[in-house]
Every structure is written in C-alpha cells, then in structure tokens.
Amino acid sequence: MPLDHYVTLGRSGLRVSPFCLGTMTFGEDWGFGSTVEDSLAILDAYTGRGGNFLDTANIYTKGHSEKIIGDHIGRHPAKRDRMVIATKFLGNMFPGDPNGGGAHRKGIIAACDESLRRLQTDYIDLYWMHFWDHLTPIDETMRAVDDLVRMGKVRYFGISDTPAWKCAQAQYEAIFKNWTPAVALQIEYSLVERTVENDLIPMAREMGMGVTPWSPLKGGVLTGKYTRDNLDTIDPKRGEWVKGHINERNLTIVDELIKVAHEAGCTPAEAALAWVQAKQGVSSTIIGARTMDQLLANLKALDVVLSENQVQRLDDASAIQPTFPQSFLPYVKNNIHGGTTINGVDSEPWHMAPQNDDERW
C-alpha cells in the first residue's frame, strides 16, 4: 500500500495517509532528536511520497516541533492546505502556573492559541486531548473543544491515552448535546503492548474512533536489534528503558518476529509495523523517525503483506491474558445461546437450564 493510498479517519470523511509522521523528536531541545535541517529533510521525504498526516504536540521539544512544522509548512498556504496537521493540548508549558496545562476551558483555549502561533496557521486539523485530566469534568472539555470547532480554529477532535470508560462518556456527552465527537483514538499498540485489545480498541470501533497507534516498535524492542544473543549491545543511553522491556515474553515475540520477517522477505521492524497496521480498527500508524534512514526503512512496511499463518503465529507469540470481564464472558456463551449456532459460533445447551417444559416454572 503506497503512502498516498489514503484512508478515512474513524467515522469521518477526513482522508489521511496509512502511516502518520510523528514529530516528537523534531528539534534537539530535549538533549536528543533531529536537527532542524534533518527534520525538514524528513518532512520533505514524507510529503514527497504523498504523506499528508503529521502528529505533534504543544510540549514536544518545548514547542520547537510545532515551530519547525510552522516554518516549513504552516506559513506556506499551498503546502499547509494539503496537510492534515494534528497537535495536542493538556501538557503544561508554564511551570508554576496551575492553569498552564489541563483539559479545562482556560487551558484548552490558551493552548490552542499558542499552538496556532507556533504552527503559523489559522486552524488545527485534528486536536488531541493528550491524556486524561482527572481533575476536569469531561463535559467541560468537550464543550470547550466544540467551541473551538465552531470558531473555526479546530476541524476534528481526538482522544489520546485515556481510559475506555472515560472515552465513551466523552463521546456520549458530545452526541447527546450536539457537540463535536471524537473521530480518533491515539494509544500505544504493538506486538508487545496488546492490553488495549481488552477495552480501548473495541470501544474505539464501537464509538467510531479510528485508532492511530503510537510506539508500534516499542521504542526499538521490535526492530530485531535486541535478541537473546546480543543483549550486551544495548545502547547505554537507552539502557534502562530498553532493559525494562527485555523480558522472556518479549524475547519470545522477537524470536517469532525474526522468523516471520525472514519468510516475508522484510526486516523485523517492517513485519511489526505491517502487523499493527492490518489490525481491525487501526486507521493510521504513527511512525517516528529521527533520521532519514529510519523514515525510509519504516515506509517500506507499507509494501509488506503477511499471510494469515504468519499473522496467527505473531498473535500466538504475543497473546495476552484477557482481563475481567472479558476473561469471564466466554463461559456464559452456552447460557445465552441455548445450544444454537449464531453468526457461525456454536454453543451447547446449558446444563442448568430447563431441559423440557416440565422443568420450566
């Protein structure tokens, strides 16, 4: 699938590329990341192939990420109008100011104006709530976002890193009050991080939110660089973070990932990206690229098609235990279906149900 074979984002008509370019590392203000020159080259390479979906946030590299996008794209109407620029509110950019961050009306409107200034544009295509602010009622957040949409400063709204029950509450606040609903959900999702399959992804599919996974390679764990045979090569600068995710389960996943990648004629990273992008509910996967080589390598994953057998092997290697009530519900199938077959799923008569008319009160 080429980068310019676009998909609609959730229950909306917004067309986005199947891979979204994450720009968290644009700028070296955090002590790591891409230089401005490298960031611009990466932007040009991505857009040159038809990519149109950028993801940033007000707090990324202290606001420099937004500024780089604004200087190169936002200030040029011909470039800007062809792009879908997504940024986020909630992060506090003003230490000492309790209202400098959060999902409350004062914080959201101020953050939006600051992002518009740095992005050098009149509107944000997709405005994310970066994570859950448990101190702010969700109806206050949703009304403030709707006001921004009505003012023309925001086109679409999305939710990131928030419990499924709170997302559903937010969505129904919007639906019942004729406010702007969320069209997308940004969450961590990969072969290593699959717990979102318990609640968040089913919720997103039901609520019309297109999923945009972040960290699909788990920060490098799924690149195949770290295996049982070379754990002593972990970069000291990333050592503690990477070591924290190098465990028996994840090494088993990497073992199978390397085998599948060899069969598919691709790299382990490409196979891992292809796996997550093909999952039901996923609209566009966020790929980070600190260097041009990383960008080009990640884009190759769009050409990878895994067989059903290969997908199943990766599913089995990375399987998780369901949490309650998902862990319980399979056991009530016979109770509900009464020994019939529904949607191709068989059941057996529940042995505690009345077996004939004489047993039924």
What tens digit of pLDDT does each residue of 186-226 get?
Answer: 999 999 999 999 999 999 999 999 999 999 999 899 999 88
Report CA-CA distances (Å) from 340 to 23, 199, 326, 348.
Answer: 52, 27, 22, 7
Report CA-CA distances (Å) from 3 to 16, 21, 56, 183, 321.
Answer: 9, 11, 19, 21, 34
Strand ranges inside the chain, DSSP E: 7-8, 15-16, 19-22, 53-55, 84-89, 124-129, 154-160, 182-188, 210-214, 285-288
Other beta carbons within 10 angstroms of residue 297's beta carbon come to 17
Q: Is the pLDDT of residue 140 over 80?
A: yes
Instruction: Give me the number of domains the chain comprises.
Output: 2
In this structure, is residue 1 part of a structural domain?
Answer: no
Buried/exposed code over 312-330 (b: 16+ C-beta within 10 A; e: otherwise): ebbeebbeeeeeeeeeeee
Average pLDDT score over residue span 296-323: 97
Residue 300: strand, helix, or coil: helix
- Note whether 56 and 89 are same-domain residues: yes
CATH number at residue 273: 3.20.20.100
In this structure, is residue 72 part of a structural domain?
Answer: yes
- Note whether 332 and 313 are same-domain residues: no
Report CA-CA distances (Å) from 268 to 51, 224, 230, 317.
Answer: 23, 6, 16, 14
pLDDT (0 to 100) of residue 241 = 63
Q: Is the pLDDT of residue 78 over 60?
A: yes
CA pair distance 294, 197, nearest whole angstrom: 28
pLDDT (0 to 100) of residue 237 = 58
- Note whether 313 and 343 are same-domain residues: no
- Note whether 107 and 176 are same-domain residues: yes
Cβ atoms of 284 and 20 within 8 Å: the answer is: yes
- Note whether 312 and 332 are same-domain residues: no
| Listed residues 303, 320, 337: the one ending a domain | 320
- Note whether 277 and 346 are same-domain residues: no
- Note whether 335 and 200 are same-domain residues: no
Cβ atoms of 174 and 182 within 8 Å: the answer is: yes
Q: Find how far residue 12's CA is from the centre of its chain.
A: 17
Residue 325: strand, helix, or coil: coil
So which residues are the catalytic ones?
60
* Number of Cα atoms under 13 Å in the Cβ half of residue 194: 18
- Note whether 237 and 332 are same-domain residues: no
Q: Is the pLDDT of residue 175 over 90?
A: yes
In this structure, is residue 50 part of a structural domain?
Answer: yes
Q: What does pTM read for this prediction?
A: 0.94
Cβ atoms of 109 and 128 within 8 Å: the answer is: no
Higher-confidence position of 90 and 1: 90
Structure tokens at 232: 């002593």
In this structure, is residue 214 part of a structural domain?
Answer: yes
Each residue of 92-106: pLDDT tens digit?
999 999 999 999 999
User: Which domain covers residue 333, as residue numbers?
Assistant: 328-361
- Note whether 265 and 351 are same-domain residues: no
- Note whether 345 and 212 are same-domain residues: no
pLDDT (0 to 100) of residue 238 = 55
Q: Is the peptide bond before 268 cis (omega within 30 degrees of 0)?
A: no
164 CB contacts (<8 Å, ≥6 apart)?
A: 199, 200, 202, 203
- Note whether 135 and 213 are same-domain residues: yes
Higher-confidence position of 24 and 247: 24
- Note whether 203 and 288 are same-domain residues: yes
Average pLDDT score over residue span 108-119: 98
161: left (phi over 0), alpha (psi -120 to 50) or beta: left
Q: Find how far residue 287's CA is from the centre of its chain.
A: 10
CA pair distance 87, 54, nearest whole angstrom: 8
pLDDT (0 to 100) of residue 88 = 98
pLDDT (0 to 100) of residue 236 = 54
CA pair distance 58, 264, nearest whole angstrom: 39
Own/partner long-range contacts of 352-360 (Cβ < 8 Å, ≥24 apart): none
